[in-house]
């Protein structure tokens, strides 16, 4: 028995195949719980058999067939529940029944499951949890850790959402053309949130959770493969890749490095190349959306060999387009950062101050203010702004950056009573 069939290796294969496996089982049996239980049983069989026989050539197919057979066995045993499940299967399964035991990959299965998990009738936090659990194959414990909630809370959240899907009959299908854009948007929002939680992790743990960023990229790639002509899907994938390309240079020695200070030689050129190609594809389709514009902004940044060479006027123009699409205060805050480079920190500061009420509890507002005030030589105000940002910031690397910047400011020569 080689290392390829160790328990850890089998579990890795299982996780990689999990989304496909669950999606196929949900289509066949019309019930998420049955699908999950059957998948777990198939894992146990694999853990028992593969160390002897080796990993089969098509592990996904093997797992699907085994899980399908287990589910059928169970349904036969539990005759009482059978009619209910039969009914459920009839509701959901609109594809012809395939012969039992034969593995067929329906590429749409995972797409359908994504739309079920990200249904707008589910609470936003439940959408994220379900997507990571059912499509990403993360355990409840891992998801709970990622979102800093107790495992029991996360388990309840997932159970409640699954119960609603079953009881309220949330459909397992790709929405029709008229609904598709708005429904795709909810799926993209979930993947973006998963990525962001990985990219700027909260809590005392690692500042970057690569498991979450990698999972978001993997799911975005699958979505793009399934919906290649939706430019916002392409835009999101491009945005995630271009952001990911800077990961190594973005945190050094546990401290966040700002874009203009990053070692551009440490950026991942392959990811940048792939991201740029996707952005060009979006430009050719010419139906701009939020994620495409954010990707384009990142493309401009990753195009510049040095921070000084950045085409800030193009970035500001892209932000103008974005503000017209999404006039939220956060977008306007990010636009102000570009304005600081183009028109100077004083102009930008006025714009940031105008957002002060809307974003008073958002750490990035105070961090941006602090930086602009520092550049304007208004050290006392900058120090207060750094304090406000630190009080709200929950990422270890960003805190380290803000603390260093605050420490660089020269303390006043004496207190108010010390004027002699």
Partner 1 sequence: MTQYLLSVHGSDEDYAEIDPATMQEMFEAVEAFNTKVRDAGIWVFAGGLESATTATVVDGQGSAPVMTDGPYLETKEHIGGFWIIDVADLDAALDWAAQGSRACQGKVEVRPFQSEPEA
* Distance (Å, whole) CA 140 – CA 57: 29
Exactly one of 91, 123, 285, 354 binds partner 1 (CB under 8 A); that residue is 91
Q: How far is the CB of 107 from partner 1 (least distance, A)?
A: 22
Query: Among residue numbers 148 through 167, which ones bind partner 1 (CB under 8 A)?
Result: 167
Q: Give the residue from 186, 195, 217 showing the smallest Cα distance to 146.
A: 195
Q: How far is the CB of 116 from partner 1 (least distance, A)?
A: 10
* Distance (Å, whole) CA 275 – CA 307: 19
Give me the half-sphere count of Cα atoms (radius 13 Å) on the Cβ side of residue 298: 28
One character per residue 195-234, x = contact with partner 1 (rule: CB under 8 A):
----------------------------------------
* Distance (Å, whole) CA 151 – CA 143: 8
Residue 19's contacts (CB-CB under 8 Å, 6 or more residues apart) are 110, 113, 134, 135, 136, 137, 219, 222
**Closer to partner 1 by Cβ: residue 88 or 364:** 88
Contact flag: residue 170 with partner 1 (CB under 8 A): yes
Contact flag: residue 87 with partner 1 (CB under 8 A): yes
| Range in contact with partner 1 (rule: CB under 8 A) among 33-41, 83-91, 125-133, 187-195 | 83-91
**Closer to partner 1 by Cβ: residue 141 or 179:** 179
Per DSSP, the three-state class of 395 is strand
* Distance (Å, whole) CA 269 – CA 248: 12
Contact flag: residue 108 with partner 1 (CB under 8 A): no
One character per residue 111-130, x = contact with partner 1 (rule: CB under 8 A):
--------x-x---------
**Closer to partner 1 by Cβ: residue 73 or 94:** 94
**Closer to partner 1 by Cβ: residue 7 or 91:** 91
**Closer to partner 1 by Cβ: residue 187 or 299:** 187
**Closer to partner 1 by Cβ: residue 56 or 175:** 175
Q: Give the residue from 294, 183, 194 showing the smallest Cα distance to 230.
A: 183
Q: How far is the CB of 165 from partner 1 (least distance, A)?
A: 9
CB-based burial, 87-108: b 16+ in 10 Å, e otherwise = ebbeebeeeeeeeeeeeeeeee
Give the Cβ contact number of residue 44 at 10 Å: 11
Residues in contact with partner 1 by CB under 8 A are: 83-84, 87, 91, 119, 121, 167-171, 175, 179
């Amino acid at each position: 028995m080689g290392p390829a069939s160790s328990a850890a290796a089998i579990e890795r294969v299982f996780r990689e195949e999990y989304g496909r496996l669950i999606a196929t089982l949900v289509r066949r049996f019309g019930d998420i719980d049955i699908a999950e239980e059957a998948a777990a049983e198939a894992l146990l069989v694999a853990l028992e058999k593969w160390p002897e026989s080796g990993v089969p050539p098509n592990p996904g197919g093997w797992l699907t067939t085994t899980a399908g057979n287990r589910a059928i066995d169970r349904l036969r045993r539990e005759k009482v529940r059978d009619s209910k499940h039969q009914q459920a299967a009839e509701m959901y399964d609109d594809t012809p029944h395939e012969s039992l035991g034969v593995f067929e990959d329906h590429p749409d299965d995972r797409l359908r499951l994504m739309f079920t998990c990200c249904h707008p009738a589910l609470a936003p936090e439940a959408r994220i949890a379900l997507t990571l659990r059912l499509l990403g194959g993360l355990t409840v414990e891992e998801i709970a850790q990622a979102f800093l909630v107790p495992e029991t809370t996360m388990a309840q959240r997932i159970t409640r959402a699954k119960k609603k899907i079953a009881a309220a009959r949330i459909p397992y299908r790709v929405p029709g053309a008229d609904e598709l854009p708005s429904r795709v948007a909810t799926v993209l929002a979930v993947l973006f949130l998963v990525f962001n939680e990985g990219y700027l992790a909260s809590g005392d743990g690692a500042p970057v959770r690569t498991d979450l960023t990698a999972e978001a990229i993997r799911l975005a790639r699958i979505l793009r493969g399934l919906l290649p002509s939706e430019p916002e899907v392409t835009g999101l994938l491009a945005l995630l890749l271009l952001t990911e390309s800077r990961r190594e240079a973005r945190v050094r020695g546990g401290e966040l490095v700002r874009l203009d200070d990053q070692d551009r030689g440490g950026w991942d050129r392959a990811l940048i190349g792939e991201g740029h190609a996707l952005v060009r594809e979006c430009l050719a389709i010419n139906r701009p959306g939020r994620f495409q514009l954010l990707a384009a902004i990142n493309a401009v940044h990753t195009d510049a060999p040095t921070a000084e060479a950045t085409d800030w006027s193009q970035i500001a123009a892209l932000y103008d387009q974005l503000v017209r699409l999404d006039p939220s205060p956060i977008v306007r805050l990010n636009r102000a950062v570009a304005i600081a480079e183009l028109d100077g920190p004083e102009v930008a500061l006025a714009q940031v101050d105008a957002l002060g009420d809307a974003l008073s509890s958002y750490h990035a507002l105070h961090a941006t203010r602090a930086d602009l005030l520092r550049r304007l030589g208004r050290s006392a105000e900058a120090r207060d702004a750094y304090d406000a940002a630190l009080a709200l910031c929950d990422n270890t690397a960003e805190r380290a950056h803000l603390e260093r910047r605050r420490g660089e400011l020269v303390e006043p020569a004496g207190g108010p009573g010390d004027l002699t």
